[in-house]
Structure 1
């Protein structure tokens, strides 16, 4: 199985850190591909569409050389792109779907973006010093202590491939206006959420899982960036689910 990994708002493939390699070691029979959303990573100079559908179309073009079928594993806004992809893909193209701390128009706005997070996010957008901004993003999205090496790594990413304010706003608009179709794209999917997520309420994941009778697993205290906070727990959930 070829897996496509998608990150969230203004983040790129390098922000997965060591997680993709953990997946390769845990599942040697699978292939894992980290892919950038338009406006980020290797595509940071390109304009980002202002809709999840537009982002999904460009991502699909990027991976057209990768053999099908696919598994999709996606975090936050990447989860919206993955869900939209699964709902519009030809039959059989998407075999597995794993959504991490994502949200959709099925949930109310105050769950999709927790009110307490808005002041911190606004302060982040106004910060001009990149190192401080990346450190503050990590402190907001993670509930575990973050190593200084990780902060430096994220700082280097932003220095080398900066996401423009225009693209950040386009992605925000796409995420805020996204609502999936009513039809269930797959008989089952793995929906993972963090009870300690300070950005997106874990009930957004519960709403998706309940709507389509999908498998839901909730981490008791991790933050929004679950792959960084507790990658071992995430790998165990995926292993258990694939063994079904």
Structure 2
């Protein structure tokens, strides 16, 4: 099985960190291809589109050389791109869909971005010190004790391939206006969510579960960056789901 991995707002493939080698080790018969959204990673000099559909088209063009069908594992904003993708391809092109702490227009704005997160996000946006800014992003998205090692890695990523404030705002605009179509794209999909997410309410994933009768699994205390907070839990949920348990 070939998996496309998509990250979230203003993050790139390097932000998967140790998650990528761990999931590759856990599923040695599968292939995993992390892909950067426009405006991030290898595309950091490009302007990010302001719609999820256009971001999705960019991703599709990037993976055109990879034989179909695909499965997609995606976090947050990447989950919106994955969901839009699954709704705009021929049946069978997307085999499996794993959406982590994502949201959509099926949920109210105060669940898609918790009101308590806005003051912290505004403070982060105003930070001039790049290391402190990345450390603050880490402290908001993860519920683990702050790791200086991870903070330094994130600082290095931003130094090498900076996501501009303009591109971050363009991604926010795309996310805010995203509403999926009404038709269920797959018979089943795996929704992974975090009860301790301080950015996105876990009920956004529940809304997708209720609408399309998909499989929902909720982590009791992880933060928004679930792949960082508990890789092993994701691997267990994915293995159980693929085994049909």
TM class by smaller structure: over 0.9
Does structure 1 residue 86 correspond to structure 2 residue 86? yes
In the TM superposition, structure 1's runs of 4+ consecutive aligned residues that sit over 2 Å from their partners are none
Q: For residue 164 of structure 1, report the CA deviation from its aligned partner.
A: 1.1
Structure 2 stretches of 5 or more lacking a match?
Answer: none
Pairs aligned (count): 244
Q: Write the distance in 1 (CA, Å) between the matches of 2:196 and 2:147.
A: 19
| Aligned counterpart, 1:233 | 233
Deviations 1:55-74 (A, max 9, x none): 00000000000111101000
| Aligned counterpart, 1:110 | 110
Deviations 1:25-80 (A, max 9, x none): 00011000000000000000011100000000000000000111101000000000
Does structure 1 residue 77 correspond to structure 2 residue 77? yes
Q: Write the distance in 2 (CA, Å) between the matches of 1:39 and 1:75.
A: 17
Q: Write the distance in 2 (CA, Å) between the matches of 1:23 and 1:137.
A: 24
| Aligned counterpart, 1:191 | 191
Let me know the Cα RMSD of the aligned residues: 0.5
Q: Write the distance in 1 (CA, Å) between the matches of 2:90 and 2:156.
A: 38
Deviations 1:86-125 (A, max 9, x none): 0001221100000000000000000000000000001111
Using the size of structure 2 for normalisation, the TM-score is 0.99
Q: Write the distance in 1 (CA, Å) between the matches of 2:138 and 2:177.
A: 25
SS at match of 2:104: coil
Q: For residue 128 of structure 1, report the CA deviation from its aligned partner.
A: 1.2
Q: Write the distance in 1 (CA, Å) between the matches of 2:136 and 2:126.
A: 12
Does structure 1 residue 161 correspond to structure 2 residue 161? yes
Q: For residue 239 of structure 1, report the CA deviation from its aligned partner.
A: 0.5
SS at match of 2:87: helix
